[in-house]
Amino acid sequence: MWISKKIFFISTALVVTVGIYTACKSVAVTGRKQLSLVPESQMIAMSTEQYAQVIKQGPLSTNQTQVAMIKRVGNTIKTAVEKYMADQGRSKELEGYNWEFNLIQNDTTVNAWCMPGGKVAFYSAILPVCVDETGIAVVMGHEIAHAIAHHGNERMSQQIVAQVGAEAVDVALSTKSAATRQMFDLAYGAGAQYGVMLPFSRKHESEADKMGLVFMAMAGYDPHKAIDFWKRMSQVSGGQAPPEFMSTHPSDARRVADLEAFLPEALKYYHQ
C-alpha cells in the first residue's frame, strides 16, 4: 500500500511537471511566460454561459448616451487590439471571441470586467470615476487586457496545479499522524494562497495596467489620462485596503508609480 501511494505521489509530480513545461505560453505585449492548462475554447464556453446569466439578471442601463459610449469605446479598442494581434501573427489567440459590451445599472458597485472571449460588463457606478470617454478607455483597456493575456486561464491552471499538489502532499504524509497531516495541509494552503495565488493576481493586475495603457494608446486615447483615473480610484477607495501582500491588487501608490514608469513605452503607440 505504501509503495502504491509513493508511486501515485511520483506520478502526480511528473504530471504536474510535464504539464508546466508543455503548457507554457507567452503573453502578448509583455512577453511573460505563463501556465495554460485549460483549453481556451472551454474557458470561452464557460464564460459565455456565465455572462449570459449576468446580463439576464441585469438590469441593463437604459441610458442610451452612456450605453453608446461604452459600446463605442469597447469597439474602438477591440479593433485596435485585433489589428495588433494580427500584426504580431497572434490572431489565432482570438478564435472564438464574440465581443460584447454592456452597461449594467448598478449605482453601488464601482467595477468593470472582461471574461475570456471578450465579454465585457461595466457597472454604472464606475462612470463618475471615469469622468469621460478617455476614462472609460482606461478601464476598457485594462479589462480587455485581462482577456487578451488569458489571465483567467492562468489562474485556473494555477489552482489545478495547487490542488494536485495538495493531494500529493496528503498522500506523501499519509503515514504520519493526523495532527501532522493537518499542520502540513494548512501550511500548504497558506503557502498556495499567499505565496502563489495572490502574488500572481497582483502580477496580473500590473500586467493588465501596462497592456491596457498600450491598448488605449493604440486606439487613439491619451494614456496620460490613466494616471488621473487611478488617482481618482484611490480616492474612491479612501485608502481602505488590506496589506499589499494579502491583496489581489497592487497598492494605489505602486500602481500609479508603475504606470508613470511605463508611460513612455505606451506613448510610442499613441504617436503612431
**Which whole-number Å values give the CA distances from 64 to 35, 67, 129, 227, 267, in the listed order?**
41, 5, 19, 28, 32
Q: How many CA atoms lie within 13 A of 143 on its CB side?
A: 25
Strands 112-115 and 119-123: antiparallel
How far from the centroid of its chain's Cα atoms is residue 1's Cα? 42
Catalytic sites, residue numbers:
143
**Closest to 135 (Cα-Cα) out of 147, 126, 123, 144:** 126
Rounded to the nearest angstrom, the gap between the alpha carbon of residue 246 and the centroid of all alpha carbons in its chain is 17
Q: Which stretches of the chain are DSSP H helices?
A: 2-22, 40-57, 64-87, 127-130, 133-148, 151-172, 178-192, 198-218, 225-237, 252-270
Residue with cell 439578471: 57
Rounded-to-10 torsion of CA 231, 234, 238, 240: -150
